Structures are given as structure tokens and as C-alpha cells.
Amino acid sequence: MTEMVYGAPRVVTGDPVLPRWWRTIDKWTMCCILVLFGIGMLLGLAASPPLAAKNGLPPFYYVTRQAFFGGMAIAAMFGFSLMSPVMVRRLGVLGFLAAFVALALLPILGTDFGKGATRWYSLGFASVQPSEFLKPGFVIMSAWMMAAAMSVGGPPGRLYSFALTLIIVTFLALQPDFGQACLVLFAWGVMYFVAGAPMVLLLGLAACVVGVGFMAYNSSEHFARRINGFLSPDVDPTTQLGYATNAIREGGFFGVGVGEGQVKWSLPDAHTDFIIAVAAEEYGLICVVVIIALYAVIVVRSLSRLMRERDPFIRLAGTGLACAFGVQAMINMGVAVRLLPAKGMTLPFVSYGGSSLIATGIAVGMLLAFTRSRPQGEIGDILMRRATR
């Protein structure tokens, strides 16, 4: 539709793929991602050896696996960033369908690994969490539906995407995985807002979410236990939140020193959900601020480049991916400092986790593909020309 209105961009015949990719990619975002992965490896060297010792494994067993999965994630990121938006959309839709089927079959074929939530498939040598791969595919699918609704005579894509969102959120809540359910709902809400949804409707949806949360609190012991722990004025020092809070307090501004932290010996999830507590204890507030700044640069630069995008699908999908990436990081760090209830969500590119690393690599690769510079006029210039006609 965009090409019919504005004309197809001129393509230079014989332009090599890699030089064109290097000229058009957002190098700041890519560098921030690589730095985050490097920080994750550094923190993994500190956080994972105690867990390996408890499980009778080699000291750097988890670090080696993180490097392996991280290498796959970086490869996926570069691979998707080389693709055209059309190819990303096609693969995203196919990936969504596969992840959706896997999510629906979790109650039958999945396992909970003794954590009280059936979220994984056990492969023996590794585990797969379908919800991690569902998120980028869901964003692509929803953006495609919403963009189609903007065409003259197009389908009711907003309604279809909303129905799809409700189905996915229901599946996630039944695991239960309220953290991922909230993230999926947030990503859809952001895209719907960018697509032109009225604020009254969004406020009504927010009120419905609060009502559903109240019902879940009264009907789910798992959900109620986490909310009660968050609202309690006193923190049990023997819980993960208690250990994390104490570690952040002990770290101060400059930390206790590399390898001198003690929280990694007490926290079962020090290398995953609470890795920011290890960073705060050993490297101090300065390291945490650097990590937050890296996430902020990625999100802000991506959104600023997407604001100049003319294609509605690219603008919607890129916004959903960037906001979901940033909010997941905020949720992880917010849980560690007791600003949010415990969610069981990893810190993107920093925490240990095969599914999380690879799925995040795919999502960021899609985002890099959408934010590449393309031979098109600025959307502000187009609007100005229309206003002066």
C-alpha cells in the first residue's frame, strides 16, 4: 500500500548485502546489545559457579552454556537484521504459529521442573520455554493485523488482534505465568495506541485488567502469595527478595569488589531472575546505572528512528518490540528492588537462559531490521507537503 501511494524506493543494482547492511544498521543499538551480553558473561562468571558447585557440576558449566546460547542469540540477531521487513514479517508469522501450538500443548506435554508452573518442554539436554519465542512472533502478527486495518477496505485487524491477545493471555495465565501475560498485553496496548486507539478505550481496558487481577488474587494461591509478599511491609530475609534487597544495600555506590559478593551463595536464581542483585553487590550502583543506560539507549534510539518510518507495519512492529524489550528489563530490575511483585522474568541479554537469550536475539534482530535506514522521505516532510497543498 505504501509503495502504491509514494512509489517504490530506488534500488541500486549489484549493491553488496553486507556493505549496505553496515551503512543502514543502527550501530549504537547494536553496540549496546553486544555490551549488555558482555556484561552478562562477566556477571555469569561471578553468579553461576556457586550454583554449579551445589549441583556437582564443573565451576564454569553455566558460563559455558551461556556463551553457547548467547552465540546462537547473536547469530540470530545478525541474521534477522540482514532481512527485509517483508521477510521478517513472513518468518515472524510462521514462528508465531509454531510457538502458539507449542504453548497450547504445554498442559499435556510440558513440565514445571518443580517450580509450580508448567512453562517448559524438557529435551533432556536443555529445556524450551515457548512463551519466550511467542512474544516476538505475537508482536509481528498483531502489527500485521493492525496495519492491514489501516488500508481502505481492510479487515477489522484491531478486533482480530485483540481476540488473539485474549487467547494468548488466557493460556499464559493458566500456566500460571502472569508476568509474560502482562508483557504480551502491554505490547499489544502500545501498538494499539500507536495505531490510533482512543484513550477512553485504553483506560477501559486498563480497568478490565485491574478487575481480572483482583479475580486472580482471590482464585490463584500462586498469584496471591506473590502479591502478599510484595505488599508486606517486612521482607523475610531468607527469601530471594530478602537476599536481593540486602545485597543491593551492601553494594553501595562502588560495590564490595569483584568476586567478594555473598548473595550468589544464597540466591537460587542469582544467575537468572536476580542477576542485577549480583551486579549491585559486587560492582555497586555505578554498574546498575550503566546497565539501565544501555537499555534506555536501545529503546530511545529505536523509537526515534521508528518515528520517521512511513510504513505502518514497520512502525507498529518496531514499537512493540522496542517497548516489550525495555519493559521486560524494567520488570526484572523492579522486582529486585521491590518496586514490583515477583514475576520470574529474565534480564534481556544479561541473565542466564537458553530460550530467553535466543528469543531476545531474534526480537532484537527484527528490531534492527525495522530500524535500518531506507531510501524514503521523512514522514514529517510528507505531512508538511500535504499541509501546504
Which pLDDT does position 260 carry in this prediction? Answer: 78
Give me Rg for the CA atoms of the chain.
Answer: 22
Residue 175: pLDDT above 80? yes
Q: Which residue has the cell 544495600?
A: 249
Which among 52-56, 144-148, 209-213, 214-218 has the top mean pLDDT? 144-148
Which pLDDT does position 258 carry in this prediction? Answer: 79
Of the candidates 51, 50, 31, 110, the one whose C-alpha atom is nearest the C-alpha of residue 355 is: 110
Categorize the per-residue pLDDT at 387 as very low, low, confident or very high, splitting at 50, 70 and 90. Answer: low
Residue 364: pLDDT above 50? yes
- Give the Cα separation of 284 and 287 in Å (integer): 6
Mean pLDDT, rounded, of the chain:
85
For residues 59-83, give the mean pLDDT: 93
- Give the Cα separation of 246 and 243 in Å (integer): 5
- Give the Cα separation of 25 and 81 in Å (integer): 8
Q: By percentage, how much of the chain surpasses pLDDT 70?
A: 88
Query: Bigger pLDDT: 105 or 176?
Result: 105
Q: Which residue has the cell 492491514?
A: 148
Of the candidates 296, 247, 276, the one whose C-alpha atom is nearest the C-alpha of residue 44 is: 276
User: CA–CA distance from 235 to each of 115, 241, 243 (Å)?
Assistant: 21, 7, 9
Categorize the per-residue pLDDT at 26 as very low, low, confident or very high, splitting at 50, 70 and 90. Answer: very high
Q: What is the pTM of this model?
A: 0.88
Residue 11: pLDDT above 50? no
Q: Which residues contact 111 (CB under 8 A, 6 or more apart)?
A: 118, 120, 121, 122, 127
- Give the Cα separation of 39 and 282 in Å (integer): 13
Categorize the per-residue pLDDT at 100 as very low, low, confident or very high, splitting at 50, 70 and 90. Answer: very high
Residue 312: pLDDT above 60? yes
47, 39 contact by CB (below 8 A): no
**H-helix segments, 254-311:** 275-306
Q: Which residue has the cell 527484527?
A: 366
Which pLDDT does position 13 carry in this prediction? Answer: 47
Of the candidates 211, 277, 218, 289, the one whose C-alpha atom is nearest the C-alpha of residue 246 is: 277
